[in-house]
Amino acid sequence: MASAHAVLSPSESMLERYRKYLLDVRGLVATSARGYVDVARAFAVTRVADGELDWKCLRPEHLIQFVLSASRGRSTGTAKLTVTALRSLLIYLHIEGLIAQPLDTAVPSVAGWRLAGLPCALERRDVQRLLAACDRRTHHGQRDFAMLMLLARLGLRAGEVRMLKLDDIDWRAGELVVRGKGQRIERLPLPADVGQALASYLRRGRPDTAQGRTVFVRTRAPHRALSSGGVTEAVAAAASRAGLPHMGAHRLRHTLATQMVRSGVALPEVAQVLRHRRLMTTSIYAKVDREGLRLLARPWPGGAA
């Protein structure tokens, strides 16, 4: 009679123990643990000999070779995740006594500077083109225009727009309750034009049969809350109609911050609008103030302009 439970291979058995370690000991969330295990699985494949896992002969050069191979053609962020996950696995292997030395320090780091890239912002006229691409004669256009106004004028994240509830709009006080990262709840001023866009959508665009208290819902039945990618899809569709390059919702958040800096708004104020916990997170926008950077530049010692 066949066993009710499939017998795991030595590799999968080790990976299952490692997954439980990540969840129970390290306290990782399930999605993060899954990513770590995926990297561990790819690395374990390189250590199989004659059907068995061989950790005893593991050397630093094997780690370097794996990182180079796994990172080839990948983004800096993906490469860094690979390195972090591999180091985590090596710590686990040492704790379990599968390797004699803690080899996590032998994993090479991935070069990357946090403030190296400039935020990719739109020109004001392109923001207007994006908004104008929403056909407000339709329910769909009313909804998308209101969402884009929240993104462009308040710098909300896509998830914050999607999670907005009817009770979060305080019409009397002219404020909006935003549920941000880390379960933070904050109240933001509601600009008149954004309020008008929301009111127009709620009066003429939101279906009477909408399910739940979520502000933005699907235009097709069943009229339930948007999917996780619904807001970004709306931005991408509007960009396509406007003849603009493909973009996501975060592009409008970058654009708002860039426009503020170029208008002379101090970084602490920009950080407050974006609701950044640390000013360092906002510092990347200092580089878009080209005129300010030019004034700070020191003359070349040789005297050349």
Which residue reads 């904050």 in tokens?
186
**21 an active-site residue?**
no
Of residues 87, 136, 162, 253, which has the active-site annotation? 253
Of residues 157, 206, 251, 254, which has the active-site annotation? 157
**157 an active-site residue?**
yes
**172 an active-site residue?**
no
Of residues 94, 140, 250, 287, which has the active-site annotation? 250
Q: CA 157 to CA 144: how far, in whole Å? A: 15
**285 an active-site residue?**
yes
Which of the residues are catalytic? 157, 181, 250, 253, 276, 285
